[in-house]
């Protein structure tokens, strides 16, 4: 499976701004867009999905934390956090085909999410990031442990991602990366998307040559 590129909304922008950015980007490069707007109501999340999904015909759109909003919107999936339902609880409610992701911070949590039926897990933060001030990054060894614990469920690495770090992250066992401000708040979001996708593809091509 090709490594995945997840883009997550920042919680700092209005819907119109995010839509305008995506309209200028090669959105086919994005595998999954996460609508992560913790301060917005379920009704607002449904509206975000309705506005953004038509801009992303080749991209899965998932809503974070709110399974009710994901179901009401007809979203492709839901991303569960530590305060959400468990993956097992969500799986009992969700219709077939709804992707379920889980945010985790340890190998134990990654293993539990995989056992409960998560389709993917997001692990972090791997590197230092401005969105987590004062919190030490977990690092590549912890990412490798989480990837091994969750296997074969893919682990998506988050936190401090740059194109230059992609190869090390994938070598540690990650199934892809997740980015927020490094794309949506960048002065050249389209260029950043292309750079991340190129880095993901370059590592995949190198791995295939080595195998």
What are the binding residues?
Answer: 64-65, 103, 129-132, 160, 180-181
- Rounded CA gap, 109 and 53, in Å? 30
Element spanning 90, H or E: helix 87-93
Binding-site residue numbers for Mg(2+) are: 65
- Rounded CA gap, 154 and 179, in Å? 16
Let me know: does 23 contact 54? Beta carbons within 8 Å: no
Q: Crossing angle, helix 42-52 and helix 15-23, to 10 degrees?
A: 20
Q: Of 127, 177, 136, whose CA–CA distance to 155 is shortest?
A: 177
Q: How far apart are the first and last CA of the chain?
A: 15
């Amino acid at each position: 499976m090709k490594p995945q590129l997840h883009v997550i909304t920042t919680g700092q922008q209005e819907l119109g701004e995010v839509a305008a950015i995506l309209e200028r980007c090669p959105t086919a490069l994005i595998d999954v867009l996460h609508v992560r707007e913790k301060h917005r109501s379920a009704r607002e999340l449904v509206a975000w999905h309705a506005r953004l999904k038509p801009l992303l015909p080749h991209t899965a759109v998932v809503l974070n934390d709110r399974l009710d909003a994901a179901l009401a919107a007809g979203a492709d999936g839901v991303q569960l956090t530590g305060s959400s339902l468990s993956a097992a609880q969500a799986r009992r409610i969700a219709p077939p085909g709804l992707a379920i992701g889980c945010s985790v911070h340890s190998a134990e949590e990654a293993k539990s999410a995989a056992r409960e039926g998560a389709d993917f897990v997001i692990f972090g933060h791997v590197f230092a990031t401005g969105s987590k001030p004062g919190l030490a990054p977990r690092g590549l060894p912890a990412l490798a442990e989480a990837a091994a614990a969750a296997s074969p469920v893919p682990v998506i690495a988050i936190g401090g991602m740059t194109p230059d770090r992609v190869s090390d992250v994938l070598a540690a066992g990650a199934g892809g990366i997740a980015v927020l401000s490094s794309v949506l708040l960048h002065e050249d979001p389209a260029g950043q998307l292309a750079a991340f996708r190129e880095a993901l593809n370059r590592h995949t091509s190198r791995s295939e040559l080595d195998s």
